[in-house]
Structure 1
Amino acid sequence: MESPCGEGVVFESIWKSFDSKPVLKGLTLKVRPGEIVCLLGPNGSGKSTLFKMSIGVLAPDKGWVKVCGVNPAKDPMRARQIVGYMPEDLVLFESLKVEEFLEFILSIYGVKVNRTRIDETLKLLGLEEELGKFVGDLSRGNKRRVYLAALMLRDPPVLVLDEAFTGLDPVGARILKSWVKSMSSRGATILFSTHVLPIAEAVADRVAIIHEGQIKAEGRPDELRRLFGAEELEEVFLEVTGYSKEYEDIIRSLYS
């Protein structure tokens, strides 16, 4: 891993609009080195928009972003060297074979990895039999595993994972959880999103709930449960995001 950065990831007073519609409204979020933070929010709440700012794909209208002290809007190439980013919708070179894809990604980032480590990573992810296959012929879950293999081999100091658990089977999800925790123990800064709340509770040191473009609640999962008098994080999420019990009454009236 490139040396863990002292500043982690900072989103400060972020505003972002699309077609004059505000998506992020003065949002501030900080992730410290060695910390795992899960960003929870409904579909369309701005999670992916925020994550894309970490590598300079999008820039805030107001406010600023720093990853290890680098502003991605001003130096996106350096930010992309620092951040290991996994988008929700993977973009892969499907005409390449798995081995070619990994070699291509590592060459882009100037990462030199010995063959033994590559083989061990592929074996860990259950991809050793897929090495000669075209990426486009793989299942959805194995495509995500290939992308994960590339991230693991890069070993970046910052991870930004947008719905990374989507499409993974229980074994793949367990490997990802273990790797994320291992990276954290080595000082990596980790920000991820998921709709699977038990994963958020099991992995995250801290949870931030985004709704209507702002962070509405933030803290350790146990702190949030205690604060809201809830037994499960799901109850906290539903209260913060305005889920109404009337929805359940409507469902019962329509389908019971």
Structure 2
Amino acid sequence: MRSSPELATSASLRYVDVWKYYSGKPVLKGVSTEFSPGRVAVLLGPNGSGKSTLMKMSIALVRPDRGYVSIGDRRVDEDPIWARKVVGYVPEDPVLYESLEIVEYLSFVSSIYGIDVPQSRVDAVIRALRLEEHLGKFIGELSHGTKKKVAIASVMLRDPPVLVLDEVFSGLDVESARVVKLWIREKASRGGVVVVSTHILPLAEAVADRVVIIHEGSIKADAPPTKLRELGEELEEVYLKLTGYSAEIEELVRALRG
């Protein structure tokens, strides 16, 4: 089976002094960080914090206004086609070819990347993500969660060395979320680079070797979950403090008490 392009085992996904502006306002403010092979990094942050923008930069869907993104020794903006081969990117809201059925779409994606996938592997992924009951439907007929599973399946099949998964657990049933957790951990165990964003804090703690908290375009914390918990009893408490929501919640509780 031909698979996605290989990377050196030491290759990391790096962001160097990355800035991005929308309508003159900065959404990323000099972000510098590195995601290393063999570890699962989880991005946490409120909506609008810059997480999705950061993740889109991994395949040049969005380009920095200043700074750069690289994978190994190659800059993403200088070779975006290569980057899209080595990165498996799943957006929060996948845009798929809605006139295709699931198997047609998976075959189409594999052919684009020049990958020969055994039918047994296709069948296994379809079963694992509980897609069998939807096989006769067009993608346009599927729910948001099922479309997300199709997007995940397409990345599972081509097995790229880097995974960038934006709100990957959103819309998934419990069984499929479990499969995705196992996939993420297994990928990291084989030396893959894995970056995940989620709002589901228990899932973040379950898969993360490292948690990166982003707020208002800047990194506020970057450490293993156990280290972050030294700042509070629970990761949720730490997250709320670092993103400035803890005081607002306390004020709301006082107001509700009258």
Shift of 1:148: 1.1
Which sections of structure 1, spanning at least 5 residues, go unmatched?
A: none
Q: What amino acid does structure 2 have at the position aligned with 1:3?
A: E
> Relative to structure 1, is the Cα distance of residues 10 and 254 closer, same or farther in structure 2, using a 3 angstrom cutoff?
same
Task: Give the counterpart of 2:20 among 10, 16, 19.
Answer: 16
Determine if contact 2:237/2:246 at 8 Å carries over to the other structure.
no
**Structure 2 matches for 1:187-206, cutoff 5 A?**
187-206=191-210
Q: Residues 126-166 of structure 1: CA distance to partner in whole angstroms, max 9, x if unpaired?
A: 11232221111122221111111111101000000000100
Determine if contact 1:99/1:132 at 8 Å carries over to the other structure.
no
Number of corresponding residues: 254
> Relative to structure 1, is the Cα distance of residues 249 and 7 closer, same or farther in structure 2, using a 3 angstrom cutoff?
same
Determine if contact 2:49/2:214 at 8 Å carries over to the other structure.
yes
Determine if contact 2:27/2:49 at 8 Å carries over to the other structure.
yes
The aligned counterpart of 1:113 is 117
Identity in percent: 52
Distance in 2 of aligned mates of 1:231 and 1:87: 32
Q: Please report the TM-score for the alignment, with normalisation by the length of structure 1.
A: 0.95
Q: Please report the TM-score for the alignment, with normalisation by the length of structure 2.
A: 0.94
The aligned counterpart of 1:221 is 225
Distance in 1 of aligned mates of 2:51 and 2:38: 21
Determine if contact 2:68/2:75 at 8 Å carries over to the other structure.
yes
Distance in 2 of aligned mates of 1:131 and 1:58: 33
Determine if contact 1:4/1:187 at 8 Å carries over to the other structure.
no
Q: Residues 171-193 of structure 1: CA distance to partner in whole angstroms, max 9, x if unpaired?
A: 11100000000111111100110
Determine if contact 1:4/1:188 at 8 Å carries over to the other structure.
no
Indicate the SS of the match to 1:161: strand
Distance in 2 of aligned mates of 1:245 and 1:205: 28
Task: Give the counterpart of 1:69 among 73, 92, 101.
Answer: 73
Q: What amino acid does structure 2 have at the position aligned with 1:142?
A: T
Q: RMSD across aligned C-alpha pairs, in angstroms?
A: 1.4
Task: Give the counterpart of 2:131 among 122, 127, 134.
Answer: 127
